[in-house]
Amino acid sequence: MVQGVAFHDGRYMPAEEAKISILDPAFTRSDVVYDTATVWKGHFFRLDDHIARFFRSCEGMRLKPPHNAAEIKSILAECVDRAGLEDAYVQFVCTRGPFVDLANRDPRNCKNGFYAYAIPYIWIISKEKQDRGARIAIGSNRRIPDSAINQRIKNFNWMDLSRGVIEAFDRGYDHVVLLTPDGRVAEGPGFNVWIIKDGTLKTPKDNCLHGLTRRTVFDFARELNIPAVEVDLREEDLYNADEVFLSTEGGGLMPVGQVEDKIYGNGGPGMMTSQLRAEYWRRREAGWMGTKVTSLIAREPVVA
Ligand SMILES: Cc1ncc(COP(=O)(O)O)c(C=O)c1O
């Protein structure tokens, strides 16, 4: 049984008991947006940025969650606290909600739903694989481009990403990166992609979620005087890079040792990547840009 607590419709429950209606087009049509925040050592990271991105995603799909920002923050904190988690993966979701009239199925007048849950922290790529350098495949299928779905809206239309993961795992790789239909680097299932070339950090400018860890890397770069740019990257840029890493809330800055047949250095984490990764975890441990979970809870904390 997964340790975790979920919230829906004014009620907290064990995460495994939370259910969504089969009549909700969130289920039948992926008509749903979401956000994922994490908690490390009892602190949310960039929580206000996550909430702001969530509301932007909702607006992008003309969804109106039934809770405001302050209520959502306290719901998320309750989920984490009730689950008794110090390090947590926290997801919150706005669904379209069942159609009012099945004859015309108008998405505009559905009563939108809100769900949230906290479960133990998830490493998209395990720490052990990160330490030896992740091995990444390029998917044979393409990522849905912005022209079809604005990927800045955080969405669950993951069939392209899931297909890529299955293929990469079948081929013995740790994870996958997808290209756009016109051959530019897009992103992977739950992470952004970075290359380091001649001391400059480079990441795709579009056809990807603008991750908050990605934003954190830009923040570090500014502070540490490292050039960092958003550009179009092609597959060859990955093979010609000095270092490659991935960024996500679910694992931080994840070093890549290999993309397809190309091995970087000795296949382990690159030097600049290692420095940035250490900086990321040093700051997370210290609660940098953090909001203490218990500071958002009005009542006495639940003792697990
Ligand atoms: C498709 C996709 N790209 C990138 C990311 C990285 O975003 P963040 O750094 O905000 O976790 C995510 C995170 O879940 C994602 O789902």
- pTM of the predicted model as reported, rounded to 2 decimal places: 0.96
For the stretch 261-279, pLDDT in tens is: 999 999 999 999 999 999 9
Output the residue whose Cα is nearest ligand 1's atom 2: 190
- What gap in Å lies between CA 36 and CA 50, rounded to an integer? 7
Answer with the residue of higher pLDDT: 299 or 103: 103
CA 190 – ligand 1 centroid, Å = 4
Q: Which pLDDT score is estimated for 18? A: 97
**Mean pLDDT value across residues 54-80:** 98
Strand partners, 33: 94, 155
What's the whole-number average pLDDT of the chain?
A: 97
Residues with CB under 6 A from ligand 1: 36, 187, 190-192, 208-209, 211-214, 247-249
Q: Which pLDDT score is estimated for 207? A: 98
**Mean pLDDT value across residues 8-33:** 97
CA 218 – ligand 1 centroid, Å = 15
Strand partners, 290: 45
For residue 303, pLDDT beyond 70: no
For the stretch 30-44, pLDDT in tens is: 999 999 999 999 999
Closest CA to 273 of 191, 201, 218, 169: 201
- Position in ligand 1 atom list of the atom nearest CA 215: 9
Range list of H helices, 133-256: 159-170, 212-224, 235-240
For residue 300, pLDDT beyond 80: no
Mutate to test the pocket of ligand 1, among 162, 209, 215, 245 (most ligand atoms within 8 A of CB): 209
Locate tokens 């795709």: which residue? 204
Mutate to test the pocket of ligand 1, among 46, 154, 158, 212 (most ligand atoms within 8 A of CB): 154
Q: What angle do CA 132, 225, 208 make, to 5 degrees?
A: 60
Range list of H helices, the chain: 25-29, 47-60, 69-83, 127-132, 159-170, 212-224, 235-240, 271-285
DSSP 40-85: ETTEEESHHHHHHHHHHHHHHTT---SS-HHHHHHHHHHHHHHHT-
Output the residue whose Cα is nearest ligand 1's atom 5: 191
CA 295 – ligand 1 centroid, Å = 26
Q: Which pLDDT score is estimated for 1? A: 83
Domains and CATH numbers, the chain: 5-122 (3.30.470.10), 127-285 (3.20.10.10)
Percent of the chain at pLDDT exceeding 90: 97
CA 298 – ligand 1 centroid, Å = 30
